[in-house]
Structure 1
Amino acid sequence: MKIVAHRGYSGKYPELSPLAFEKALDLPIHGVECDVRLTRDGKVVVQHDPTLDRTAGRPGRISKMDWEDLRGVDIGSGQRMMLLDELLELLEGTPHHLYIETKHPSGQGDILEEQTVLRLRYAGLFDDPRIHVISFSHHAIRRMQNLAPHMDRIYLRRDWERHVNRPDVMLSKPTALGVSLLRAKLQPAIIGAQGLPTYLWTVDKPEDMKWAWANGVDMLATNQPEVALHAIEL
């Protein structure tokens, strides 16, 4: 089972910060996960929420601000927000994989996927098998299939979808399926369904990590990568 540090080593350091990624990349794990959004001036930033309220304790909507307004914002313990470019630089010289989640709805349509692909091309990582894209949006997954058909695409399935899409029809033709720990425990048969590898989020307790390992989960997203290293047999 492959361990993926969710938002970097976010269980110990400010999420999606340079320090969180540096500490995660120091560990013998499979990879790290990040979220990306677009600023008003078209920069791809590493940020989960649409606003700054939770992470920075101040108002401000990412899509309504320029990078110059955001680059100095403290997102915890003196850490600052990153550009995707900066995170891609951290990957240089490491074997780690990167899972990039494009956040929707964004109000910017397909521009986010286009700009993400441009940044990957600029970094020389467009064809790198270590790059994976993930999203809760079928539209985003389809866009990535068109923009980068060779790239691993993980569709993140919301828990409520089990009520409206019982056959689990994969409209976007992903190459892997992401499910929550809650959904997986309610319906273990979804692990490996349709022959797709399973990406499980967000698993922080040792007993749940061991459950995932025993039930054939392929990729485990966790805020506590060191706990995962000790909890499961690699």
Structure 2
Amino acid sequence: MHIVAHRGYSGKYPELSPEAFEKALQLPIHGVECDVQLTRDGQLVVNHDETLDRTSDRSGTIAQMDWEEVRKAKLSNGENIMSFAELLELIKPSNQHLYVETKQTFNYNPELEEQVLLGLRHAGLIEDPRVHLISFSHRAIRKMAHIAPWMDRFYLRREFERIINRPDLLLSKPTGLGLSLLRGKLQPQAIGAHGLPTYMWTVDSPEDMKWAWSNGVDILATNQPEVALHAINY
């Protein structure tokens, strides 16, 4: 089972900060996960929320701000919020993988996946097998399959799909499927469904990590990567 540091080593350092990624990349784990948002002027920002309010000293909706405004935001450890390009520079010299979640809303923006691909091309990682797309959006999965068919693509199932999509029908062609720990426990048969690898989030206790490993989870996203290393005896 591969261990992925969710939002970097976010259990110990500010989420999605340079420090969180640097510390995670020092561990003997499979890789790291990040979220990306698009600024008004088309720059990719490493941030989970649509706004800067929760994690920085500034407020505002990223999609309504230019990168020059966003880059001034300070995280709780005093570091600047990261651009996607800066994160790729950290990843390049490592041998670890990167799982990129494009944060699409109901107002789907195809430019988000396009800019991810442009960023990867600029960094020389355009066809690097260490880069994976993950998304809750079937449209994002279809878009990336069209513009970068070689890229690994994980569709993340939303919780409500357990009710409204009981047959687990797919509206795109992902190369892997994700599910939460809660859904995995409620529907263990969804692990490995369609013969595809399973990405599970966000698993932080040793007991749950061992459960995921024993139930065939392929990729484990956790805020506590060191705990995971000890729990499954890496």
* TM-score with structure 1 setting the length: 0.98
- In structure 2, the gaps of 5 or more residues are none
Deviation at 1:70, TM superposition (A): 1.2
Alignment of 1:188-207 (within 5 A): 188-207=188-207
Shift of 1:75: 1.8
List, as ranges, runs of 4+ consecutive aligned residues in structure 1 with deviation greater than 3 Å.
Answer: none
Question: Within 5 Å, which residues of 2 pair with 1:97-112?
Answer: 97-105=97-105, 107=107, 109-112=109-112
Q: 1:148 to 1:126 in 2, by over 3 A?
A: same
Which AA in structure 2 matches 1:208?
D
Alignment correspondent of 1:42: 42
Q: Distance in 1 between matches of 2:183 and 2:107?
A: 29
Secondary structure in 2 matching 1:33: strand
Identity of aligned residues (%): 68
Contact 2:39/2:63 (CA < 8 Å) preserved in 1?
yes
Distance 2:127 2:77 in 1: 35
* Cα pair 1:184 1:190 within 8 Å, conserved: yes
Secondary structure of the residue that 2:178 maps to in structure 1? strand
CA contact (8 A) 2:2 2:220 kept: yes
Letter of the 1:81 counterpart: I
User: In 1, Cα distance between the equivalents of 2:70 and 2:108?
Assistant: 18
Matched residue, 2:119:
119
Cα gap change, 1:189 to 1:106, in 2 (>3 Å): closer
Q: Which residue of 1 aligns with 2:186?
A: 186
Structure 1 residue 212 and structure 2 residue 212: aligned? yes
Q: Secondary structure at the match of 1:154?
A: strand
- Report the equivalent of 1:67: 67
Residues 1:194 and 1:106: Cα distance change in structure 2 (over 3 Å): closer
What is the TM-score normalised by the length of structure 2? 0.98
Mapped contact 1:14–1:79 kept (Cα < 8 A): no
Q: Deviations over 1:128-184 (max 9, x none)?
A: 000000000000010000011010000000111011111101111100000000000
What amino acid does structure 1 have at the position aligned with 2:25?
A: L
1:18 alignment counterpart: 18
Give 1:229's aligned residue. Answer: 229
Any conservation in 2 of the 1:37–1:106 contact (CA below 8 Å)? no
Map Cα deviations across residues 12-60 of structure 1 (whole Å, 9 max, x no partner): 0000000000000000000000000100111011010001111125420
Q: CA RMSD in A?
A: 1.1
State how many pairs are aligned.
234
Unmatched tracts of structure 1, length 5 or more:
none
Range with bigger deviation, 27-36 or 47-56 = 47-56
